[in-house]
Amino acid sequence: MKRLDAIVIGAGHNGLTNAAYLAKAGLDVLVVEKNDYIGGAAVSRELEPGWTYSNCSYVCSMMRQAIHRDLDLARHGLLLVPYLGTVNFGDGDERLIAYHDEQAAYLELRRHSPHDADAMHRFQADLTRYSQLIRKTLLRTPPEPTSFRPRDIREFLWLAKKFWALGEKELYEYVRFFTISAADFLDDYFENELIKGAMASPGIIGTALGVYSPGSAYILLHHVMGDVDGNIGAWGLARGGMGAISQAIASAFEAYGGEIRTEAGVDRVVVKNGKATGVVLDNGDELSARIVVSNLDARRTFTRIIDKDDLPDGIYEKAKYFKIRGSSGKVNLALSGLPKFTGLPANRYIDRGGQAFTGSLETMERAYDCWKRGRWSDDPFIESVIPSAWDPTVAPPGKHWMSNFIQYCPPALADGPWTPDKRDAFSRTVIDKIERYSPGFSDLIVHMEVRTPHEIENEIGLTEGNIFQGELTIDQLFFNRPFPGYGQYRMPLKNLYMCGSSTHPGGGVSAACGANAAREILKDLRRPNTVPEDDFYDE
């Protein structure tokens, strides 16, 4: 049996990134993927002829520019297109348009509240300050707090220097920021409910927290710290859908000589004498490798594909209680035309952005209440985008597709398991809500793909359908991710690594987890590093 240098389990974007950097270093790398397509949650599939959905993730802003540049993903076909602002729909007729143009955005805020329009400057300055610090850590391995190795001490000193540069007052604010709720954070700046709702919505996306839950302020930051071409907070679409990101990385990986095997689910990781030595595929084939890298989430890695008896004490339990609660659903719609929304000016650029059906903080909190009771929200928060208004490649001319991301949708329902009927009822709730803002909307629907946490878990393997591979709360962030003591991509078994969003810096299509893991692996294998540092100078 040929012994590979590395097997990467799961062809999501982080697995592919990890594999690409290992292959770039000259290693013999195989990526195994259970599905017959690659991409994991950064995937584009044509389910209705002519329409290409971004089935799971739908926009991106965290994609590390340094990786995009270093792997020459443009040459491999990737084009990220930033989009113009988002329209926030209030509970009633109120609309807040987040224009891309600064002056236009200011005037729009003033229309709702002169106070908030001015407060926005302080809000943006504070948020930028917080996000810049975290951005600097994205393409770095977290230091291990209990280790006294020189590299960890050096990294802590580096961090301390960055923190100290904030100034004393901001240092306290920063620590506070990690523990408060999005609503509390926003109350310090804004008075208008629609503006607060709009600004709070990134704080709940993908997480089983409400806008009033402690910790949601950080999630908010996690969603606005990305950038497109240096415009912090900007969001972009991948031309051809989010799958184009995975395809481009896969193409770079293959150009370095790597191989991807699809329809090759892993039954278990082979462990001998406390070391990972390979994998056994679902079809019984056994593959051997010097190292095994799991791009699966922490729960799945340690409770599904590794025998409990092969693990050191306590790891199975850590994985079992790893917070990875599903909270969101997705409704992808093929439309026969561009939907028209009420209460908006006839501005031809407005559909070149997103739609956020936010309502007020209270609406969002009520939506969360449903989740707590094991129901999908009856008045959900929906974040939508119509990629076809931008991307000529994803729908026939004149036709469109709309991505709708829904909070909240529980992985398990109080009244028993998910059924096709319940899934349909869930999608009706979503469409009815959009219809409230766009009369005649449902008549446009040509095809629909509905994804509750149940589908997300079963199709692409995210436990409970949690889009981040684990909650982004402080107990599971940075050197605590996925577990305290395992924040540097090396797992409790020798030669076993993790490279997915369950590791630092967490969820989002950033490619950072995979790249960081590759850097650590190459260090262990005594190979020269191939992973770039973030290429922005001190901002």
Partner 1 sequence: MNSPPDAHPFAGEQPKLSPFHPRQAALNLRDAWGVWNGYKFADCYYDAEYEYFCIRNQCGTYDICPMQKYEIAGPDAEAMLDRMVTRNVAKLGPDRVCYTVWCTDEGRIIDDGTIFRLADDRFMLTCGSPSTAWLEKSTYGFADVTVKDISDTLAALSLQGPTSCAVLKAMGLAGIEEARAFDIRYFPFADNTLMVSRTGFTGDLGYELWVRRELALELRDAVYAAGSDYGIQPYGETATNMARLEAGFIMPALDFNEALKTVHFKHDQTPFELQLGWLVDFDKPHFSGRRALLEEKSRGPEWTLARLDIEGNWPAEGAIIYDTERCRQEIGYVTSAMWSPAVKANIALAMIRTKFLDGEIWAEIYKAKELRQYRRMARCTLRTKPFWMPARARATPPADF
Contact residues for partner 1, defined by CB under 8 A: 65, 68-69, 73-74, 79-82, 84, 100-101, 228-230, 239, 349, 352, 390-393, 397-398, 535-537, 539
Report the nearest approach of partner 1 to the CB of residue 79 (Å).
6
Q: Using the minimum distance from each CB to partner 1, give the nearer residue, 30 or 59.
A: 59
The one-letter code for the residue type at 508 is: G
Half-sphere exposure (Cβ direction) of 251: Cα atoms closer than 13 Å: 14
Reduce the secondary structure of 296-340 to three states and give it as a string.
CCHHHHHHHCCCHHHCCCCHHHHHHCCCCCCCEEEEEEEECCCCC
Q: Closest separation between CB of residue 313 and partner 1, Å?
A: 46
What DSSP line would sit under 413-460, residue for residue? BTTBS--HHHHHHHHHHHHHHHHHHSTTGGGGEEEEEEE-HHHHHHHH
Nearer to partner 1, 347 or 419 (CB): 347
User: Given the complex with partner 1, which of 321 and 349 has the nearer CB atom?
Assistant: 349
358, 238 Cβ separation under 8 angstroms = no
The total number of residues shown for the chain amounts to: 539
In the complex, what is the shortest distance from the CB of residue 215 to partner 1, in angstroms, rounded to a whole number? 31
In angstroms, give the least distance from the CB of 279 to partner 1. 34
Return the closest-CA partner of residue 115 out of 106, 103, 126, 125: 106
Structure tokens at 164: 């100290």
Amino acid identity at 314:
G
Q: Are strands 259-261 and 29-32 parallel, antiparallel or unpaired?
A: parallel
Angle at 342 (CA atoms; ends 339, 343), nearest 5 degrees: 140
Nearer to partner 1, 244 or 291 (CB): 244
**Which residue, 69 or 372, is less far from partner 1 as judged by CB?**
69
Looking at beta carbons only, is 237 or 269 nearer to partner 1? 237
Give the 3-state DSSP-derived string for 38-105, with helices as H, strands as E and coil as C.
CECCCCEEEEECCEEEECCCCCECCCCHHHHHHCCCCCCCCCEEECCCEEEECCCCCEEEECCCHHHH
Q: Give the residue with the Cβ less far from partner 1, 219 or 511.
A: 511
CA distance 457 to 452: 9
For the CB of residue 243, give the shortest distance to partner 1 in the complex, in Å: 16
Closest contact distance (angstroms) between CB of 539 and partner 1 is 8
Torsion over CA of 382, 115, 130 and 82, rounded to 10 degrees? Answer: 50
Angle of the 102-112 helix axis to the 193-200 helix axis, nearest 10: 130
Report the residue number, 389 or 491, with the smaller CB distance to partner 1: 389
CB 239 within 8 A of CB 392: no
- Among 217, 220, 134, 222, which residue's Cα sits nearest to residue 176? 217
Candidates 410, 373, 295, 389; CA nearest to 341 is 389
CB nearer to partner 1: give 148 or 537.
537
Find the shortest distance in angstroms from Cβ 536 to partner 1: 5
CA angle 352/358/362 to nearest 5° reads 170
Residue whose CB is less far from partner 1, 43 or 228: 228
| DSSP per-residue letters across 211-240 | TTSTTHHHHHHHHHS-EETTEET--EEETT
Q: Rg (Cα) of the chain, in Å, rounded?
A: 22
Find the shortest distance in angstroms from Cβ 397 to partner 1: 4
Considering beta carbons, is residue 239 or 527 the nearer one to partner 1? Answer: 239
Query: At its nearest, how many Å lie between partner 1 and the CB of residue 346?
Result: 13
Could you tell me which of 298, 234, 300, 299 has the C-alpha nearest to residue 267?
Answer: 300
Residue 166 CB, nearest distance to partner 1 (Å)? 15
CB of 304 to partner 1, least distance (A): 36
Nearer residue to partner 1 within complex by CB, 125 or 474: 125
Instruction: Supply 147's token pair.
Output: 């280790």
Of the two residues 351 and 464, which places its CB atom closer to partner 1 in the complex? 351
Q: How far apart are CA 476 and CA 488, in angstroms?
A: 13
Nearest distance from C-beta of residue 54 to partner 1, angstroms: 15
Quote the least distance from Cβ 100 to partner 1, whole Å.
6
